[in-house]
A and B are shown apart, each in its own frame.
Chain A
């Protein structure tokens, strides 16, 4: 099968988000954060990962999209704040995400905000590339 183009991936990811989150297609902009902008709650991330598996024929292991085990590691998160080591680890574990939003606010709750539509598209691109 020919490799999917960025646009084709983007299109399918948009369909997944429209179905999983009940949002309008035009709300699914590349910079939109799944939680803050599109209203995703914790169960929605599982729903999205199941739907991505089906749409792209890939397998997403638990913790692969959002590395929750790192977020429970006291070396990486202390008093609700992501440490320097934690930020480095997250950047390694989530190479598809842009952590610029965490430069000024290290709150652990902020981590989900790096999960934008664009990050999700890059995540799928990396998965498809194997």
Chain B
């Protein structure tokens, strides 16, 4: 299963900023259930908010991982803020802009801004929401817990995404 909620990286400034795009498509099966038609109204496909948070987590996670050359296992540890001004529909694009606020051996903090492009409404970039996250470098945990040696976070899927977006890894 591909659990990728970003389609392309368009900007990657090491240790500073990462920008990714997500094109929402009716081919995504979950949109047929979120929400189906009822007797009273037609179907209303809306991208679920947790998947928008996941999209930002993948964008910001790449930023945090790249800052340490993908040597750390970067795990989403805390959603400090998730605010959305509107809904996101198929045919629209979300633009995730993640900024690295702080990184140290134990983890990192990022702040994120999301914009939306609605092609049916002029195609202008509109503010959509904000998502601030905390990541843990899990091998550096305080309990001294051991995790598998291979980096199960940054799999080939992530590296392929970076390569296909034109970034050397």
Contacts and interface: CB of A to CB of B under 8 A. Distances in A.
B144 A43 contact: no
A62 B109 contact: no
A72 interface: yes
With a 10 A CB-CB cut-off, give which of A19, A46, A54 has the most chain B CB atoms: A46
B134 interface: yes
Interface string A44-84: 10110010011000000110001010011000000000000
Contacts of B144: 72
Contacts of A66: 142
Contacts of B140: 62
Contact of A44 (B78, B101, B105, B141): B78
B26 interface: no
Contacts of B37: none
A61 B141 CA distance: 15
Interface in B107-121: 107, 109
Most buried by B among A20, A42, A44: A42
A57 to B, nearest CB: 13
Nearest to A61: B104
Contacts of A20: 80
15 contacts: A19-B80, A20-B80, A42-B142, A42-B143, A43-B77, A43-B134, A46-B109, A46-B134, A47-B80, A50-B101, A50-B109, A62-B104, A62-B106, A71-B142, A72-B144
